[in-house]
Amino acid sequence: MAPTTTRQSTAARKRAAVKPTVDGADLEFEPIRIAANDEIEEERVPLFFIGDDEYTIPKKIAPGVALQYLREARTHGREVATAPLLERVLGEDAYLALEQSKALTEDQMEWIVDKVLELALGKREKPGGKAR
């Protein structure tokens, strides 16, 4: 009987020494900590002016914004997903100001949309290999 007890004890010791546990789960990695939203100070930069009114966007757009856009684009298409992305990045006041502007041109609107998409999603490659 002694050899059986010794083998079980050795096996139990090996299992216990394999990896430390976190909350009872064996993990092969160290979990990351993400700051709470209220711990993040958002720096904003100007994107456009209407008259003398300045409209800003976050200097660094959170990756969650891109994830929301990608989910909406997958479900409803890129064109439909763009409006909520713009409103989230620009803010409601800036979005409404653009919406109500009689002086906004197509080229200006395209530039704003492209800039927001670029900042939210990162630079995209155009067909032919040039970054957009």
End-to-end CA gap in the chain: 74
Average pLDDT for the chain: 82
Contact (Cβ atoms closer than 8 angstroms) between residue 91 and residue 97: no
The alpha carbon torsion through 64, 69, 74, 77 (nearest 10 deg) reads: 180
Confidence of residue 124 (pLDDT cuts 50, 70, 90): low
Strand pairing of 53-58 and 25-26? unpaired
Q: Output the pTM of the full model.
A: 0.65
Give the tens place of pLDDT for each residue, 37-50. 777 788 999 999 99
Largest CA-CA distance found in the chain, in angstroms, rounded = 92
**pLDDT (average), residues 94-114:** 97
Statement: residue 28 has pLDDT above 50: yes
Contact (Cβ atoms closer than 8 angstroms) between residue 119 and residue 57: yes
